[in-house]
Amino acid sequence: MKEIRLHGRGGQGVVLSAKILASAAIEEGRYAQAFPSFGPERRGAPVVAFCRISDEPVITREPILEPDIIVVLDPLILRTIPVKNGLKKGGLAVLNSCFPPEQAAERYGFTDCVLATVDANEISIRFLGSAITNMAMLGALLKAEPVVSLESVIAQIEKKMGRIADKNIAALKEAFEEVRVAEIVSA
């Protein structure tokens, strides 16, 4: 089972990202669940969403405290929320960051993990006209760790996003191509 924890802010599509991943896994014949955790529902407030993907039925409904993967949609969250807490040794962290992985690791204190970075803000603004980074971050995740296929995610975007699907798919594909990945080992 892969356990994924996504961090962002209200309005960035954190919850939708988890749902799209889970739906894509289910369409591939696997088991999955997605659910959010947030305080006051308001745009800009911190939001956490969880996604589990497995080849076996998923029984637990607990929040994911020790994820295999974390995805951070908003780089400002890295300053205020301990997103890396519980990340399994050797796990994957996918960050919305303009810094290359080695520099981001030093800046934010990541060690003993695989770190993937992509400037999802720039990509989202270019394709969508705003910094709604969810689909760009899914593209980066899928390149760094193909938990589901890119094609399955595209099908879910088309199904769930209607008239804005094409722009989101373009952002997803661009981030898939631009993401930088490095193994970060403590000295």
| Across 131-158, average pLDDT | 97
pLDDT of residue 27 exceeding 60 = yes
pTM for the model: 0.95
- The CB density around residue 87, as the number of other CB atoms within 10 Å, is 20
Looking up residue 127, the CATH number of its domain turns out to be 3.40.920.10
- Whether the CB-CB separation of 65 and 76 falls below 8 Å is answered with no
Q: What is the pLDDT of residues 54-80, one digit of tens each?
A: 999 999 989 999 999 999 999 999 988
Mention every residue, 6+ apart, whose C-beta is less than 8 A from residue 36: 14, 15, 18, 47, 48, 49, 50
Q: What is the pLDDT of residue 104?
A: 96
State the total domains in the chain.
1
Angle between helices 134-144 and 150-161 (to 10 degrees): 160
| Domain that residue 145 falls in | 2-184
Residue 6 in tokens: 């996504």
- Whether the CB-CB separation of 114 and 90 falls below 8 Å is answered with yes
Q: What is the pLDDT of residues 74-113, one digit of tens each?
A: 999 998 899 999 999 999 999 999 999 999 999 999 999 9
Cα of 174 vs its chain's centroid, Å: 15
Q: Could you give phi then psi for residue 174, rounded to 5 degrees? A: -65, -45
- The CB density around residue 166, as the number of other CB atoms within 10 Å, is 12
